[in-house]
């Protein structure tokens, strides 16, 4: 078991670092045998007809069905176990009443919805939440989402998405926590805890769903739904751990992914959903397919017809069929023909009923129809959304222009299509949040610098230049360029519309869309300082724009309160502290580019030749060369973990207590962190390791811990971290999770590309 302690020497306190406890050492309640519940399940299942059992395994979407009366009749007949996309509390109550009072056995429905980064109050997209490196905020945000969603009758969310993605072309990179396994695990656990709360049977608790199981983020070419080719060791070392952590944290449900991995669609992969999930990990909740993914096994060419698809899925361990109708249409016959045993069906039904019992739906299936009036957009929810947005923004470059000093500005030009668009700042997967609740950057800047602010009044000129991110309107760009000439400073808000990322919205070209780059160029020609704020769903290739800008802030779609957060950062009322949860490529041709890759036999040594340096008719040679592109080098534009502040930090005196450790030892790390700049600020200190040798090659660096550390200007703190050597285990040549002996390098730094290493031995 991993236990990770932090000793605060100055105060002499021993604090347990929650993230590691949540990840590894807490026993989830879901694993405790609740005998009463199991007895009740047995009793109920013994009374159910085969048709009723299959009904429980069927999930339908309320807006993709023939009509209300069809749904009501199906609920009455026990042909539906779960409904997704029903968010009207009155209707939810009506349907529950039918299920309870008019169906034969009175089994409540489970109402599900994609509540991905907030319900009404929208938080930054998950990629932005990951940039906070703040699991406390993520947990609290998920709690807010649960409070709002459950007040509409939703007791199950299809979140968190735990897909590791090393490819920003993939639109769904927005929905996950980036490229790193440890960060994704920590954030996933925080979300599970937040959604499910302390007591799953409380009306404000919402069952979490760890998705998409598994490998979906490695879709070939970054094209959604595409095949993946992940060998078992890579799955176990990189893609599975966040799911395992979520299961340990008590996630009640798991969703299979759309992709086939090495030829096997996840929805029909018994090794994954049975051997690993149930047998190795002891998962006791239920597995749901992704939307129509049972049926899609036919399109994959893995099943010949719906009956075969249904058989493969249920035998693999998929308990609930989301929107394929394959279970309701085929399962009865399959059982009658002996192709699927009733025992298999019973197991699936029990898993589903267990979740319904644990959610307390049998005792209290109804929602208070008035409650949402208090919960939606509650002031404390908006405050938390703003705090999350603040910490999610990453300062990528700054020549000292930021923070802006309002006292020195008479005229400020605000331009760009993302400056005043309440809808586009919300990001992907927003079904319930409303654009008119958003506070845009323009509105927030006007408020901050307006009459009521008590500050010196600044003349704010708003000239959008472009109406939306793909707009190419030259006349608009010219108007912005003209306004720039009489401004003292220019803030350009560019980026991506919400619909350009998310499911099925992949891109081959990650440059800024439309005329946005020209807009930056045009205002830059005024010679005035240009601050670029990019509001987007993924890393974009922004080298040119970074070079043109005096300062560059990156805001993954920040949600409802994105405007006030950005305004506070721009004018120095807050200090940026976000760090990149994903590597930013210089150009799409470098993808996949990620920090934790293995070492080649000829690793890059900073010795790249460029196209221009190669003599014409040069002779063939490979000697002395390493892995890089002649036209794009080997380095990303910005590395994983990177992010600036308005102050600076120095790491000194990095030391460990011994030079060699045994496998069951704990290593004590100390370092001094000093705020060497003029303002207070928070640094995300990151701990990376590398096994110099192993029975299999290991990544050149891997994040294994981080902590947000606030410091006043000039302040130094000595930080102590205690790390069990067991944390360094990996799946080795024998496919066993083992701590191997040998030399290890360790870095404590502000990003994945800097810092001096310290070495030790494991023996």
| CB-nearer residue toward ligand BGC: 259 or 587 | 259
Q: By the 8 A CB rule, do 722 and 666 touch? A: yes
Site for ligand BGC in 436-455 (CB under 6 A): none
What's the closest the beta carbon of residue 256 comes to ligand BGC, in angstroms?
Answer: 10
CA 384 to chain centre: 18
Between 133 and 158, name the residue whose CB sits nearer to ligand BGC: 158
Looking at the Cβ atoms of 84 and 480, the one nearer to ligand BGC is 84
Radius of gyration over alpha carbons of the chain, in Å? Answer: 27
CB 454 within 8 A of CB 407: no
Q: What is the DSSP string of 373-424?
A: HHHTT-HHHHHHHHHHHHHH-EEEEESS-PSP-GGG-SEEEEESTTTT-TTT
Report 626-685 residues binding ligand BGC (CB under 6 A).
none
Write down the least CB distance from residue 162 to ligand BGC, Å.
11
Contact between 723 and 705 under an 8 Å Cβ cutoff? The reply is yes
For residue 323, the minimal CB distance to ligand BGC (Å) is 8
Prior bond of 181 cis (ω within 30°): no
Q: Report the distance separating Cα 423 and Cα 137, nearest Å.
A: 23
Compare residues 56 and 59 and give the one whose CB is closer to ligand BGC.
59
Closest CB to ligand BGC among residues 211, 295: 211
Q: Which parts of 485-514 interact with ligand BGC (CB under 6 A)?
A: 503
Question: Within 13 A of 36's CA, how many CA atoms are on the CB side?
Answer: 3
With H, G, I as helix, E, B as strand and everything else as coil, classify residue 264.
strand
Pick from 134, 199, 131, 186: nearest CA to 160: 186
Q: Cβ-count burial of 305 within 10 angstroms (0-12 exposed, 13-18 middle, 19+ buried)?
A: exposed
With CB under 6 A as the contact rule, the residue among 211, 538, 701, 717 that binds ligand BGC is 211
Positions in 690-749 near ligand BGC (CB under 6 A): none
Would you say 216 or 661 has its CB closer to ligand BGC? 216
**Residues with Cβ < 8 Å from 31, sequence gap 6 or more?**
250, 282, 284
The minimum distance between CB 257 and ligand BGC, in angstroms, equals 8
Cα separation of 143 and 137, whole Å? 10
CA dist 643 and 395 (Å) reads: 5
**Nearest distance from C-beta of residue 245 to ligand BGC, angstroms:** 19
- 480 by DSSP, 3-state: which? helix
In the complex, the smallest distance separating the C-beta of residue 503 from ligand BGC, rounded to whole angstroms, is 6
Min dist. Cβ of residue 117 to ligand BGC (A): 13
Residue 158 touching ligand BGC (CB under 6 A): yes
User: CB-wise, 290 or 496, nearer to ligand BGC?
Assistant: 290
The footprint of ligand BGC on this chain (CB under 6 A) covers a number of residues equal to: 6
Residues 285-304 that bind ligand BGC (CB under 6 A): 290-291
For residues 730 and 235, the answer to whether their CB atoms sit within 8 Å is: no
* Shortest distance in whole angstroms from residue 78 CB to ligand BGC: 23
Shortest approach of ligand BGC to residue 290 CB, angstroms?
5
Q: Give the residue with the Cβ less far from ligand BGC, 213 or 554.
A: 213
Q: How far is the CB of 470 from ligand BGC (least distance, A)?
A: 24
- Out of 52, 86, 114, 260, the residue judged to bind ligand BGC by CB under 6 A: 114
* Angle subtended at Cα 532 by Cα 526 and Cα 538, rounded to the nearest 5 degrees: 145
The CA–CA distances, whole Å, from 509 to 179, 312, 464, 636 equal: 19, 38, 24, 16
Pairing of strands 489-495, 530-536: parallel
Closest approach, Cβ 287 to ligand BGC, in A, equals: 13
Query: What does the per-residue mask of binding to ligand BGC show for 123-152, with x meaning CB under 6 A?
Result: ------------------------------
Task: List all residues 6 or more positions away from 118 whose beta carbon is below 8 Å from its beta carbon.
Answer: 141, 144, 145, 148, 385, 430, 433, 559, 560
Its sign, for the CA torsion 313, 319, 322, 324, is positive
Catalytic site residues? Answer: 290
Q: Please tell me whether residue 86 binds ligand BGC under the rule CB under 6 A.
A: no
- In this complex, which beta carbon is closest to ligand BGC, that of residue 358 or of residue 505? 505
Q: Write out the DSSP string of 24-61.
A: IIPPPGGGS--HHHHHHHHHHHHH--HHHHHHHTEEEE
Bond before 592 cis per omega within 30 degrees:
yes
Which of 71, 520 has the CB closer to ligand BGC? 71
Helix (H, G, I), strand (E, B) or coil at 216: helix
Which parts of 344-403 interact with ligand BGC (CB under 6 A)? none
Q: Are 496 and 535 in contact (CB under 8 A)?
A: yes
Eight-class DSSP state of 260: E
- Is there binding between residue 260 and ligand BGC (CB under 6 A)? no
Residue 685's nearest CA partner among 708, 654, 713 is 708
Specify the residue, 503 or 761, whose C-beta has the smaller distance to ligand BGC: 503
Residues in the site for ligand BGC, rule: CB under 6 A? Answer: 114, 158, 211, 290-291, 503
């Amino acid at each position: 078991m991993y236990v990770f302690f932090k000793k605060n020497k100055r105060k002499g306190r021993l604090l347990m670092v929650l993230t590691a406890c949540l990840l590894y050492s807490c026993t989830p309640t879901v694993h405790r045998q609740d005998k009463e519940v199991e007895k009740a399940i047995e009793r109920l299942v013994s009374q159910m007809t085969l048709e009723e059992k299959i009904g429980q395994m069927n999930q339908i979407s309320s807006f993709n069905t023939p009509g209300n009366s069809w749904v009501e009749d199906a609920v009455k007949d026990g042909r539906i176990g779960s409904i997704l996309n029903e968010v009207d509390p009155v209707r939810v109550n009506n349907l529950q009443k039918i299920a309870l009072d008019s169906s034969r056995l009175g089994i409540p429905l489970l109402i599900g919805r994609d509540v991905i980064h907030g319900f009404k109050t929208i938080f930054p997209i998950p990629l932005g939440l990951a940039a906070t490196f703040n699991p406390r905020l993520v947990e609290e945000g998920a709690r807010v989402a649960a409070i709002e969603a459950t007040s509409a009758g939703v007791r199950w969310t299809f979140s968190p998405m735990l897909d590791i993605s090393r490819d920003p072309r993939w639109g769904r990179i927005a929905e996950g926590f980036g490229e790193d396994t440890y960060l994704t695990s920590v954030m996933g656990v925080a979300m599970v805890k937040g959604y499910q709360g302390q007591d799953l049977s409380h009306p404000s608790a919402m069952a979490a769903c760890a998705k998409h199981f598994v490998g979906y983020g490695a879709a070939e070419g970054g094209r959604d739904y595409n095949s993946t080719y992940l060998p078992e060791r890579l799955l176990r070392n990189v893609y599975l751990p966040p799911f395992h952590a979520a299961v340990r944290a008590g996630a009640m449900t798991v969703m299979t992914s759309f992709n086939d991995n090495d030829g096997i669609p996840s929805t029909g992969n018994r090794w994954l959903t049975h051997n690993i999930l149930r047998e190795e990990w002891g998962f006791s909740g239920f597995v749901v397919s992704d939307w129509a993914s049972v049926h899609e096994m036919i399109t994959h060419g893995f099943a010949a017809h719906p009956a075969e698809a249904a058989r493969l899925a249920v035998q693999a361990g998929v308990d609930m069929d989301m929107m394929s109708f394959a279970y309701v249409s085929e399962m009865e016959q399959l059982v009658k023909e002996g192709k699927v045993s009733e025992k298999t069906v019973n197991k699936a039904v029990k898993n589903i009923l267990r979740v319904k019992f644990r959610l307390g739906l049998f005792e209290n299936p109804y929602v208070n129809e008035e409650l949402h009036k208090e919960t939606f957009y509650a002031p404390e929810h908006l405050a938390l959304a703003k705090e999350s947005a603040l910490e999610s923004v990453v300062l990528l470059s700054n020549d000292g222009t930021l923070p802006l000093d309002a006292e020195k500005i008479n005229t400020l030009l605000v331009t760009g299509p993302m400056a005043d668009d309440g809808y586009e700042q919300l990001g992907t997967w927003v079904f319930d949040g409303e654009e008119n609740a958003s506070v845009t950057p323009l509105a927030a800047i006007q408020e901050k610098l307006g009459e009521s602010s008590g500050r010196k009044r600044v003349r704010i000129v708003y000239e959008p230049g472009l109406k939306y991110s793909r707009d190419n309107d030259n006349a608009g760009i010219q108007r912005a360029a003209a306004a720039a000439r009489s401004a003292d400073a220019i803030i350009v808000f560019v980026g991506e519309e919400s619909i350009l990322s998310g499911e099925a919205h992949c891109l081959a070209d990650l440059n800024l869309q439309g005329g946005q780059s020209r807009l930056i160029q045009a205002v830059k020609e005024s010679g005035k300082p240009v601050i670029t704020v990019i509001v987007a769903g993924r890393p974009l290739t922004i080298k040119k724009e970074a070079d043109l800008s005096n300062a560059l802030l990156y805001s993954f779609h920040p949600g409802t309160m994105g405007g006030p957060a950005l305004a506070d950062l721009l004018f120095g009322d807050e200090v940026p502290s976000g760090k990149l949860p994903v590597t930013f490529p210089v150009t799409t041709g470098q993808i996949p580019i990620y920090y934790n890759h293995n070492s080649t036999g000829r690793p890059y040594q900073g010795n790249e030749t460029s196209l221009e340096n190669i003599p014409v008719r040069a002779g063939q040679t490979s000697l002395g060369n390493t892995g890089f592109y002649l036209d794009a080098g080997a380095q990303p534009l910005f590395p994983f973990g990177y992010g600036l502040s308005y102050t600076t930090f120095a790491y000194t005196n990095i030391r460990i207590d011994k030079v060699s450790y045994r496998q069951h030892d704990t290593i004590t790390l100390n370092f001094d962190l000093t705020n060497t700049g003029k303002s207070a600020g928070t640094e995300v200190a990151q701990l990376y390791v590398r096994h110099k040798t192993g029975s299999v090659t290991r990544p050149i660096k891997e994040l294994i811990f981080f902590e947000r550390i606030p410091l006043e200007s000039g302040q130094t703190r000595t930080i102590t971290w205690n790390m069990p050597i067991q944390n360094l285990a990996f799946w080795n040549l024998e496919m066993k999770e083992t701590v191997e002996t040998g030399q290890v390098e360790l870095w404590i730094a502000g990003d994945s590309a800097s810092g001096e290493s310290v070495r030790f031995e494991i023996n």
